Structure 1
């Protein structure tokens, strides 16, 4: 493999090959990146909802216990 690229100019190795790879595998790369970003977004929404629920429950429990002190 090294012998094949040894005779090529620098622009073939560093410009043409990555461009061809992006054209061929661009859809696959975009779908994988989109899936990962979507999954991270869902995880962040889940964490925010669970944290908000815990905050509301703690506030409710604290206010109900202070009412029972009366």
Structure 2
């Protein structure tokens, strides 16, 4: 029972925040934004792959690199 209590306290005291680089990555999404359906993938600074730069910009992503994002390893 004590170990469960300690585990709960430790879990509750952890900060669950995004790194500063990701915090500064996204701005507000653009509501009435239109993009072509051209597939020219970009990797957003948030680690998500967008179908093209226009879609990333409309999602509020501030910076991106050309190409798909690398797969996330668990």
Q: TM-score, normalised by structure 1?
A: 0.27
Counting helix residues as a fraction of each chain, which structure ranks higher? 1
- Higher relative contact order (CA closer than 8 Å, sequence separation 6+): 2
- TM-score for the superposition, normalised by structure 2: 0.27
Higher strand share: 2
